Amino acid sequence: TVPNKAVVTLQPNWSEVYVGERITLRCEIKDGGDTEWEYEWRTSSSEKPSDQNEHSISSVTESHSGDYRCKGRKKHTQHSSTDWSDPIKLTVSDRPQPVLTVSSSWLSAGASVTLNCRVKDPSAGWRFYWYKRVPRLSGNFYYSYEQLPGSSSGTEQDSYIVHGQTHTAEYQCRAGRGDPEYQSYTSYSMYVWTSDIHSSASLTESPDRAQHFTSDSVSLSCEGNSTEWTVIRSSPEERYLFDCSTWGTMNGSTCNINTDWPSDAVYWCESGSGESTNAVNITVQDGDMILLSPARPVTEGHSVSLSCISRSQTFDSIVFFYHNEKVIQNDSRWELNISAVSKSDEGFYKCQHSGRESAQSWMSVQGE
């Protein structure tokens, strides 16, 4: 053997590569000088590299995963070869799907929200692209996604701040790297809702409360400048959005919810001209107890009453009311009255009686 050392390098030098990316494996002979070399490769993968010093794969697959070694032999000689190089391990993974998170799911109108797009190896040359869903102006409630301002060529940062969001919105992100650019899958959607009421477009619920029993009659009405509306629902159990025609009955601009089975979802209106409204979180329960609390925001300084209702009985012992998991009233009253609401009253509420408990609902407080 000769004292020169063979080394395998990977270009681009990323710790993990993904199905479909272009890579080049290179066999370098240290201090090889002007000597002409022939090359030999050995690999545990199904790939069989040629006898060149460079081996390019235009679109890697998982079958290319494995260890790669090389050695060099001086041309025109029989025995003047290097030792085998140390192995380089190539790991080829499925095309990545970023995870999009938002700093807050509920915003006051005009507040800012930070989007974060996370890939498995964030330092490996990724650029990030940010999208917002917009209704196409066809009136048929098809959707398209437009890039957020300043992100058409991607951002180096994996976060993006949306300033002054005023309406309910849906966001997605994706990542790309390399030249030509290799693209990740698009993330699942994240939603940022506002419960604030706009004069131009609003959703109202009848009856105005956050919790209902199964079989209750519940309707959602869309109001605004548009003549064409639908109600959209988002729930943890449903990966995609569905409109009222799937889980209710649309009659003009009013949607009647099917309450035959339990659900916990956020609802808002969208128009064919691209408007969206405030959102409400509605829980339908098949249990024995619900908390009557307003679905829409309560204005500071106004009074509000929260009630505990049982499907089967009247209350004959202590009723507990909780605010953010802390007991704030425990006596025989089935009603919690707040005479002048302040911002500190905002939060999650629930009630409990005889060991049975309602679901918790968020009460939003807005300025006058």
Backbone φ and ψ for 39, nearest 5 degrees, come out as: -125, 150
Checking if the pLDDT of 195 tops 50, the result is yes
Q: Tens of pLDDT along 219-249?
A: 999 998 888 888 999 887 777 788 898 889 9
Cis preceding-peptide flag for 236 (omega within 30 of 0): no
Tokens 């609401």 sit on residue: 341
Question: How confident is the model over 293-315, as pLDDT tens digits?
Answer: 998 888 899 999 999 998 876 66
Residues of the chain with CATH 2.60.40.10: 6-93, 99-194, 195-286, 288-368
Looking at residue 306, its amino acid is L
φ/ψ region of 354 (left if φ > 0, alpha if ψ in -120 to 50, else beta) reads left
Break the chain down into helix, strand, coil percent, rounded to 5: 5, 50, 50
- Which has the closest alpha carbon to 165: 106, 110, 115? 110
The pLDDT tens digits of the residues spanning 313-324 come to: 666 789 999 999
> Do residues 291 and 350 make contact, with C-beta atoms less than 8 angstroms apart?
yes
Please give the CATH superfamily to which domain 195-286 belongs: Immunoglobulins (2.60.40.10)
The whole-chain average pLDDT of the chain stands at 88
- From 268, 264, 124, 97, select the one nearest 196 (Cα to Cα): 268
Residue 322 to residue 329: CA distance in whole angstroms? 7
Question: What pairs with residue 7 in β-bridges?
Answer: 28
Could you give the CA distance from residue 21 to residue 91 in angstroms, rounded to a whole number? 12
Class (C level, CATH) for 99-194: mainly beta
Asked whether the predicted pLDDT for residue 214 surpasses 60, the reply is yes
Query: Any idea which fold 6-93 has?
Result: Immunoglobulin-like (2.60.40)
Q: Which two tokens stand for residue 80?
A: 């003047």
pLDDT tens-digit map of 100-119: 999 988 877 678 899 999 99
Render pLDDT for 343-359 as a digit per residue (tens, 0 to 9): 999 989 999 988 889 99
pLDDT at 122: 67
Q: Assign domain 288-368 one CATH number from 2.60.120.260, 2.60.40.10, 3.40.50.300, 3.40.50.2300.
A: 2.60.40.10
8 A C-beta contact, residue 270 and residue 278: no
Phi then psi dihedrals of residue 7, to 5 deg? -135, 130
The answer to whether the CB of 316 falls within 8 A of the CB of 331 is no
The token pair that represents 211 in the structure block = 């919790």
